[in-house]
Structure 1
Amino acid sequence: MGRQLQAERMRQDLTQESVFLAAGINRATLQNIEAGRGNPTIITLLRIAHVLGVPLAELVG
């Protein structure tokens, strides 16, 4: 999941900072998700998907 998230963020030329600020999460949370660490909540994943403008299934599939 982390690799898909990072790839989509980079495809859109977005920084981690722009995503975590827009999603209302902290920097460490986004970094951990992208690195494949931790277990993010569905709410966190939905917020990130919304910021990226992609369906949740695209990030976790």
Structure 2
Amino acid sequence: MNNRSELGCSDSLSDMQTAFGYLFLMLLVAFPEPLVAFGMASLATVMLASVKGAVSSLLPTN
């Protein structure tokens, strides 16, 4: 099993939850409205997951 420490590059749910938590806290500081911060963190987490999927499909498998 290949474990990577890069944000968004792991398949485990807990890593994605941790990434979401970090994004939410950073965005909550930037945007004091909790719903805006939650929405933006959700969108960013989905974007990270899709980029991870796109990159992994382009990489050759050995």
What TM-score, normalized by structure 2, do the two folds share? 0.30
> Could you say which structure has the greater relative contact order, defined with CA pairs below 8 angstroms and 6 or more residues apart?
1
Q: Which has the larger radius of gyration?
A: 2
